[in-house]
Amino acid sequence: MRRSKLLKFSSVLTAMLAGAAAALTPTAAHADPACATGPKLVPSCGVLWGGAAGGFTSAPRDTALKGWERESGRTASIFHTYHKGDEPFPTRSEVAMTSDAAHPRVLLINWKIAYGSTWARVARGAEDRRIDAFAARAKAYGQKLFLALNHEPENDIKDRAGSGMQARDFAAMYRHTIERLRADGVTNVVNVLIYMSNENWMAKSWWKDLYPGDDVVDWIGLDTYANAEAGYHHDLFSGMLDRGGFYRWATTRHAGKPIMVAEWGAYHRVHHPVDKSAVYNSVLPALASHPAVKAISAFDTKHDDTGDRDISIDSTSRNLASFRSLAASPIFNVKLS
């Protein structure tokens, strides 16, 4: 009798441990076969889910993302990384992360191509060696990847003649780079132009000059953050998309272009935890009312570049629970193909 009870207890314990292990394993292999990405990585239905973790730390990006995936409960279909100048990429770890059949991922690479140079010099062909070197690596990589050239260009504008960093210089740099990659025979790069979500920038006279043309832009991207504390940019997800009229501009002036929220998150002051669940709980309703958004990629860090904003998903247990609930939504069950 005691042996029977012991065996029963053992089987129950085994089941419990298996369940706990499953809860800690990111969702990956249950993509809806009806929702799959096309030639430009646009999902036929649903929304691509992505992430960038370990920002402003020394943690390797791949290790940080895997930790974030375990916490959030879902594999990031988009692995967002950052490079500049002549850095060789995709790196070995990026190739490994996007070659993991059990956890399918696609790269989103942010490249500051004009690092140590200017946009105008790139546009004139002065950095063609840099472009051609990446073209060779991209072709050797073989898989499709997202490429963002100098995301958030508004931050880098020097609006004076001859600076080489005016809005029109950015547009010319972007066009030249994409046309050069195409001339080099690159066919697996999907281009993303990523703006900042800031109404002050959109009000600038030069803002409209940043856009290089529909023929060289595959996706329109946006980096947007909400302040979980009362005050400036205290928003829900819908407001983060509509800030400055961005969503309306993108869907009317560039109708048909998919929108990627390339970075997003909710923040509070470091060491002053605040409930972020209202932001996380607002994402699904906002996606329903903003159907042009086809991908969202969260940015996770314990402190931003100034050291005063916590943009992590686990600053409180309630924040993590609400984020995990969002990540579990079947809307993100998209097959990479």
Q: Please state the φ and ψ torsions of residue 285, each to the nearest 5 degrees.
A: -60, -35
The rounded mean pLDDT for the chain is 92
Q: How confident is the model over 303-313, as a mean pLDDT?
A: 89
Q: State yes or no: pLDDT of 157 exceeds 70.
A: yes
Burial class (CB within 10 angstroms; exposed 0-12, middle 13-18, buried 19+) of 259: buried
**Whole-number pLDDT of residue 40:** 98
Residue with tokens 């997003």: 264
For residue 266, which amino acid is it?
A
Question: Which among 31, 47, 79, 68 has a CA at the least distance from the CA of 284?
Answer: 47
Q: State yes or no: pLDDT of 259 exceeds 90.
A: yes
Mode of pairing for the β-strands spanning 309-310 and 259-269? antiparallel
- Comparing 16-20, 21-25, 316-320, which segment has the lowest mean pLDDT? 16-20
Omega within 30 of 0 (cis) for the link into 90: yes
Q: How confident is the model over 151-175, as a mean pLDDT?
A: 98
**Whole-number pLDDT of residue 3:** 42
DSSP state of 56: T
- Dig out the tokens for 42 from the structure: 């646009």
β-bridge partners, 219: 192
Percentage of residues of the chain with pLDDT beyond 90? 86
**Whole-number pLDDT of residue 67:** 97
**Whole-number pLDDT of residue 30:** 55
Are 294 and 47 in contact, with CB atoms under 8 Å apart? Answer: yes
CA distance 58 to 41: 30
Residue with tokens 């407001």: 239
Q: State yes or no: pLDDT of 194 exceeds 60.
A: yes
3 state DSSP class of 48: strand
Q: Please state the φ and ψ torsions of residue 259, each to the nearest 5 degrees.
A: -110, 135
Q: How confident is the model over 114-143, as a mean pLDDT?
A: 98
**Whole-number pLDDT of residue 2:** 42
pLDDT confidence band for 307 (50 / 70 / 90): confident
Question: Which among 216, 214, 213 has a CA at the least distance from the CA of 186?
Answer: 216
Q: State yes or no: pLDDT of 13 exceeds 50.
A: no
CA distance 267 to 319: 11
Q: State yes or no: pLDDT of 8 exceeds 60.
A: no
3 state DSSP class of 112: strand
Q: State yes or no: pLDDT of 102 exceeds 60.
A: yes
**Whole-number pLDDT of residue 18:** 39
All structural domains of the chain with their residue ranges? 39-335
Distances from the Cα of 97 to the Cα of 64, 102, 107, 296, angstroms: 12, 10, 9, 19
State the Cα torsion 250-254-259-260 to the nearest 10°: -90
pLDDT confidence band for 186 (50 / 70 / 90): very high
Q: Please state the φ and ψ torsions of residue 308, each to the nearest 5 degrees.
A: -115, 5
Tens digit of each residue's pLDDT (9 = 90 or more) over 266-297: 999 999 999 999 999 999 999 999 999 999 99
- Dig out the tokens for 95 from the structure: 């190739």
Percentage of residues of the chain with pLDDT beyond 70? 91
Q: State yes or no: pLDDT of 27 exceeds 90.
A: no
CA distance 36 to 43: 5
CATH code at 39-335? 3.20.20.80
pLDDT confidence band for 22 (50 / 70 / 90): very low
Q: Which residues of 54-186 form beta strands (DSSP E)? A: 78-84, 106-112, 145-149
pTM equals 0.90
Are 250 and 221 in contact, with CB atoms under 8 Å apart? Answer: no
**Whole-number pLDDT of residue 214:** 98
Question: Which among 82, 43, 48 has a CA at the least distance from the CA of 64?
Answer: 82
